[in-house]
Amino acid sequence: MPAIALTVNGTPHGIDIDGRALLVDVLREGLGLTGTHVGCDTSQCGACTVHLDGRAVKACTVLAVQADGHEVLTIEGIGTAGALHPMQVAFREHHGLQCGFCTPGMIMAGLDIARRNGPSVGPEVVREELEGNLCRCTGYHNIVNAIMAGAQAMGGMQIVGGAPDADAPTVSAA
Ligand code: FES
Ligand code: FES
């Protein structure tokens, strides 16, 4: 059984795993982080989206050993019930969910879209980039609006921590 070192939501963990274990299973079953969902296990639905070293990945397509020595951010790491992340606030305000099953993955994907495209990301880009995240309830319209509003509210700040993200695209005032 290999042992891996993972930093998850800022906390270092040493974990013994089966060499074939998927990252999503280690997060859910090993660490109890069940906010990351499993909708398909075949890389189609995006419910398992987390960030690996700052980039969105589908955790059902990553072996846990591939994450050894790396940083993982899950939905539990971006906000709390009393202090929601601006992207979570935007999903609530824009009714970007119904049953909520896809929501953690949508939010983690939305954060990556905001990081790469900046605060003024438009609906076409959001729709195109959400092609790997499926929702069976909402029809996507409110999710797209929520991600655009969340990106704007973040204003180029780092996903966690609040300081400006040096890599984030910015818009200059006209
Ligand atoms: S559970 Fe990973 S993409 Fe569906
Ligand atoms: S809100 Fe139900 S699957 Fe998206």
Give the CATH number for residue 122. Answer: 1.10.150.120
Looking at the fold, whether 49 and 112 belong to one and the same domain comes out as: no
The C-alpha atoms of residue 91 and residue 57 are separated, in whole angstroms, by: 20
For 81-95, what is the mean pLDDT? Answer: 96
Residues with CB under 6 A from ligand 1: 38-41, 43-48, 58, 60
- Is 164 a member of any domain? no
Query: Residue 165 — pLDDT band, cuts 50, 70, 90?
Result: low
CA distance 65 to 56: 17
The residue range of the domain holding 101 is: 86-154
Instruction: State mean pLDDT over 137-143.
Output: 97
For residue 173, pLDDT beyond 50: no
Contacts of 6 (CB under 8 A, 6+ apart): 12, 13, 15, 26, 64, 67, 68, 70, 71, 72
In the chain, the number of structural domains is 2
Q: Which residue has the tokens 């700040």?
A: 157
Q: What is the pLDDT of residue 41?
A: 83
14 lies in the same domain as 49: yes
Residue 42: which CATH number?
Answer: 3.10.20.30
Per-residue pLDDT at 150: 98
Q: How far is the CA of 2 from the centre of ligand 1 (A)?
A: 24
pTM assigned to the model: 0.93
Q: What span, in angstroms and rounded, lies between the C-alpha atoms of 31 and 29?
A: 6
Indicate whether 97 and 66 sit together in one domain: no
Quick one: pLDDT band at residue 169, thresholds 50, 70, 90? low
Same structural domain for residues 53 and 95? no
Going by alpha carbons, the residue nearest to atom 4 of ligand 2 is: 135
Is 73 in the same domain as 91? Answer: no
